[in-house]
Structure 1
Amino acid sequence: MKEIVRKTMSGGLMLLISFAILILSVGVFVLGLYSDSGLFLIVGSLMFFIFIFILPGFFTIQPNEAMVLILFGKYVGTEKEAGWHWANPFYTKKKISLRSRNVNGEKIKVNDEMGNPIEIAAVIVWRVENTAEACFDVDNYVDYVNVQSESALRHLAGMYPYDVDDENSQTLSLRGSSDEVSEALKNELQQRLGKAGVIVEEARISHLAYAPEIAAAMLQRQQAAAIIAARQKIVEGAVGMVQMALNKLNEESIVELDEERKAAMVSNLLVVLCGERSTQPIINTGTLHN
């Protein structure tokens, strides 16, 4: 539905008019009593009933609130201006908050793109933008937001893996691409909640972990991957240092080494540089070949 912004009368102005009607009704009624005229009594009574009729039309709106006005089942408009207002007493008035709200979703268990069970939760910030759609296009827009938020999160979790093994991979993951995943979640939520007149201001994953039944195995896998990556860096650095040492010895002509001695030196340096524990030096008191 299309929202219609409707301007209502000022409550203060209508209060003055109602008091004037009340005073006139009392005056006419008293005049009818003293003049023994039934017409004055009828007019005074009608004016008093008009005063009573006016009273239910007053309502107030606080900042970032709106009042949806319905006349005999037909939507006639929405008043969004804060203050004291008056509208047709026959209007059914439904107040809606336009303030930002949070949905702190509970942890749910889903499968990621690789089929691994994970636990995930999200925090969503939203507000009502179109009051007509929020009131008439869905049954209960608050429940609608809660249900669709969980549904969108389940769908998003199945589109990405929890993590990727290759650091240079361009594949997005739930753990390594939080900004991109949050933006995708926000866009999907906006598509789902747009029909309820809701604007999604922010969507963030608040909890992400492997499910308890595979958490230990995945932790060992991550530790093994970290050890392999660290060893790879160590080996690359050690080879570079050995090459630099051999080149320096050759440039400075410090010692002449044949291929066999070079191989022994390379082996010893790699053991020293790649070993997990510190090495103990052995002093050779003999010749180079002993």
Structure 2
Amino acid sequence: MHTPTDSTPGREPGPRPAPGALPEPAAARRVAVIKGETTSEIPVHLLFRDDTGAGPVVPQPAPKPAAPPARRRARPVAAPARPAVPADPELAERAGPVLPGAVAVLAGLAVLAGCAAVVWSAGLLPAEPARALRLPVRPYAGMGAVRWGLLALGTLALVGCFGGLARGRVGYAWVLSLFGEYRGSVRRTGLVWMSPLLLRRRVDVRLRHWRSEPMPAVDADGTALRAVVLVVWRVKDTARAALAVEDHVVYLREQVEAAMARVLSQLPADAFHDDAPTLRDAEAVGDALTRLLRAEAEAVGIEVYAVQPTRIEYAPEVAAAMRRRRVAALDARHRDAVLSSVVDAVDDTVGRLTARGLVELDDYERRVLVKDLTVAFYTGRGGAEGV
């Protein structure tokens, strides 16, 4: 005996409802789930199966991303362990020989007065200056070897007293050396006296900052980068800064470039498809640069307070390609988030309708409901976010 089947267009052939069940018009089964909602078809055939023997279609959460490679799971950027530049233990700052300038001035005036007395005793002082100074006029008696010797000693003393005067300024220091040997450093301000025989080198000990030019580097993927850093530093040991290296400023700049190349090569500039550590963490990169540069600069008497990257960007030759890759990664992440929220919303809606007994659905009706809800929610979400 032939069993009649339901051949409603758009529906698979299947058995008719059992006897005694209320017949349901075909048109009623095709009414849109959300009235007044105009939806458009999207390629969602991958979410549904047409096999009538399959169980209820339950929306599944989005699959978890694959585990990142071992290189991406590296610890946050840190200064590589490497022996620092050794410092000369015998070369350290110490106080140099210095006297207050007022003492030297008084001594020079006394020597000048002694020289004038020698000249007056030899009768070389003219009558008019002598009367002005209320001194008796003495006839010329000749200089003699003794007077010449006293004048020579007085001249040398005057050169020593007034030639050693210097003005100390705030934020500067002198490094003193004699015949190539370090004699000490002077950090005093105001009028001071130092031996004229000592060689003086002025060193700036103020807190200084240096902003680098864009320097080339590469990340862990070998992508060319351009980085700009800001270094805050000062001279802590004037002896090492002046004598341990030819130019401590040039040394510091070269060490900044070397440290930046070592630190930036540990991590990629961007992680497009996972949440691995990247060079966009400016605080971690700055801390690693500071630790590394501080250890390298200690040997030349420089104290580094902070090294912060102000800009890390791709080199011009790869900037356009990396920008497109970043936009594509952001778009894929956005689509994945939207799809996950839509699937969760559909799951919650179907679960509430069936749990409260508002509808009784068979397998086919559940698939149709899930499909219509997914299309409606996805279209509505996309339109709202597009606005």
**TM-score normalized by structure 1?**
0.88
* Map of 2:305 onto structure 1: 201
* Map of 1:173 onto structure 2: 278
Partner amino acid for 1:258?
A: D
Q: For CA contacts below 8 A with separation 6 or more, give which structure has more relative contact order.
A: 2
Partner amino acid for 2:200?
A: K
Q: Give runs of aligned pairs for residues 29-68 of structure 1, distance below 5 A.
A: 29-33=119-123, 34=138, 36=141, 38=144, 39-40=146-147, 42-68=149-175
Q: Give runs of aligned pairs for residues 263-278 of structure 1, distance below 5 A.
A: 263-275=367-379, 277-278=382-383
Is the CA contact (8 Å cut-off) linking 1:110 and 1:119 kept in structure 2? yes
Is the CA contact (8 Å cut-off) linking 1:119 and 1:211 kept in structure 2? yes
Matched, 1:220 2:324: yes
Shift of 1:40: 4.3
Q: Give runs of aligned pairs for residues 152-167 of structure 1, distance below 5 A.
A: 152-167=259-274
Q: Which structure's residues are more often helix, by fraction?
A: 1
Shift of 1:41: 5.3
Structure 2 Cα separation of the partners of residues 119 and 148 of structure 1: 17
* Map of 2:244 onto structure 1: 137
Structure 2 Cα separation of the partners of residues 271 and 58 of structure 1: 90
* Map of 1:2 onto structure 2: 92
* Map of 1:232 onto structure 2: 336
* Map of 1:95 onto structure 2: 202
Matched, 1:250 2:354: yes
Q: Among the aligned pairs, what percent are the same residue?
A: 25
Which segments of 5 or more consecutive residues in structure 1 lack a partner in the other structure?
A: 280-290
Shift of 1:26: 0.7
* Map of 1:284 onto structure 2: none
Is the CA contact (8 Å cut-off) linking 1:239 and 1:270 kept in structure 2? yes
Structure 2 Cα separation of the partners of residues 227 and 7 of structure 1: 70
* Map of 1:211 onto structure 2: 315
Is the CA contact (8 Å cut-off) linking 1:119 and 1:208 kept in structure 2? yes
Partner amino acid for 1:164?
A: A
Structure 1 Cα separation of the partners of residues 316 and 195 of structure 2: 60
Q: In structure 2, the residue corresponding to 1:99 is in which secondary structure?
A: coil
Structure 1 Cα separation of the partners of residues 266 and 152 of structure 2: 71
Is the CA contact (8 Å cut-off) linking 1:29 and 1:43 kept in structure 2? no
Structure 2 Cα separation of the partners of residues 26 and 44 of structure 1: 9
Structure 2 Cα separation of the partners of residues 132 and 81 of structure 1: 16
Cα deviation 1:52-106 (Å, max 9, x = unaligned): 2322111122112111111122111001122211011111111100012222211
Is the CA contact (8 Å cut-off) linking 1:99 and 1:128 kept in structure 2? yes
Is the CA contact (8 Å cut-off) linking 1:112 and 1:118 kept in structure 2? yes
Q: 1:111 aligns with which of 218, 230, 235?
A: 218
Is the CA contact (8 Å cut-off) linking 1:10 and 1:85 kept in structure 2? yes
Cα deviation 1:251-276 (Å, max 9, x = unaligned): 43322222211211111111122237
Structure with higher Rg: it is 2
Task: Work out the number of aligned pairs and report it.
Answer: 276
Q: Which moved more, 1:91-100 or 1:232-241?
A: 232-241
Q: Give me the CA root mean square deviation.
A: 2.0
Q: 1:12 aligns with which of 92, 98, 102?
A: 102
Q: In structure 1, the residue corresponding to 2:245 is in which secondary structure?
A: coil
Q: In structure 2, the residue corresponding to 1:138 is in which secondary structure?
A: coil
Q: 1:52 to 1:277 in 2, by over 3 A?
A: closer
